Chain A
Amino acid sequence: MVIAIRLARHGCTNRPFYHLVAIQHKRARNYEPLEQIGTFDPMPNADNEKLVAVNFERLRYWMSQGARFSKPAARLLGVSGFLPVHPYSYVAALRNTRILEAKTQDQSVEASNDTS
């Protein structure tokens, strides 16, 4: 049985909260996991932080058991610095920068139009 390390969405409507779990990969999303390794709160708190807590010791153990990561989990842990950064993180970042640049360009064009 392949062990997956993935995010299980807890919390409720409009308030996501994730558990980082080691679980048999065919189990349902919120099935009782083999072990809960950490938590991830994707909603920024008052200090604009998205809090992640991970038990890296246990993560090492589950990796030694051949656990596979889901893409979101791999991205999250890549950003944390424990794993190599996932390539898609770079792509997403590039896309985001492009969108941002486009926005700023639009704004600057609008501003120049307004002034002229």
Chain B
Amino acid sequence: MISAKTCLYLYGPGKQGLRSPCGSLVFVRWRKPRWIPMAKSKLEYLPVKKPVDPWEADFMKKQMNHYRTTMKALRAYFACEQEALSATGTVMMEKARHEEDEFRALLEENARHNEHVAAMREKRIADEQEARLLARMRGIEFAKQRRAEEREHADSVIQHYQELAKTLVTAETCDEAIEQCLDDVIVYDFAIDQTGSVYQGRTLEVLEKVSSLSSSSPEVSTLS
């Protein structure tokens, strides 16, 4: 047999601090387990039964039998009714028709939506095609223009160099050019002040001297 003390420690939340000073059982919230024996104070206890009115008991017994039978009959009747309903099925047929109508309506709605979407898609595709064509045309135009500009530029360059080429020194004009160079002597031996007046150096004088000498003496001229 489990002692009261053990029970106290085994059962009930918050095991410590619940023991009463006299060491009796304290169960908080939970019922006494089955194997705990009857309390000493209750050993002599006889539960008092509630007085039953004999008329009431008799009445209830008879009437409840009758009531139960009626209820069973009702349940059976309603079951039959339900079965008939589901078989001949005004309700079921109605429901089925309703569902079918709904389904058809949904189909139509779906088709309409599909058409709408298809129209939108076609329009979009056409627009895209047109845009692509336009872009292509613009590209071609641009390329043409650019090519024309490049050609123009090239022509102008060629013209420029052709102009320049007229003054080039060739084998035939070589002697002439040399002559011309010798004739046009440019002397850079001079200085300029802030007012712009030119002060010649002595190179020019020297050159003139040299030229005069060369013209007077034939030996020098042959050397040059």
Q: Which residues of A are interface residues toward B (Cβ below 8 A)?
A: 60-61, 63-66, 69, 83-84, 86-88, 90-91, 94
* Residue contacts A-B, CB under 8 angstroms, 19 given: A60-B78, A60-B81, A61-B82, A63-B75, A63-B79, A64-B75, A64-B79, A64-B81, A64-B82, A64-B83, A65-B79, A66-B79, A87-B60, A87-B63, A87-B64, A87-B66, A87-B67, A91-B56, A91-B60
Task: For residue A81, give the distance in angstroms from its CB to the closest CB of chain B.
Answer: 13
Closest chain A residue to B62, Cβ basis? A87
B70 A84 Cβ-Cβ under 8 A? yes
Closest chain A residue to B56, Cβ basis? A91
B67 A91 Cβ-Cβ under 8 A? no
Interface residues of B in 53-98 (CB under 8 A from A): 56, 59-60, 63-64, 66-67, 70-71, 74-75, 78-79, 81-83
| A interface: dominant SS | helix
Complex contacts, A61 vs chain B, CB 8 Å:
78, 82
A66–B77 Cα distance when bound, in Å, is 11
- Which listed residue (A60, A84, A90) contacts B59, Cβ 8 A? A90
Complex contacts, A64 vs chain B, CB 8 Å:
75, 78-79, 81-83
Closest chain B residue to A60, Cβ basis? B78
A63 B63 Cβ-Cβ under 8 A? no
B82 A84 Cβ-Cβ under 8 A? no
Complex contacts, A65 vs chain B, CB 8 Å:
79
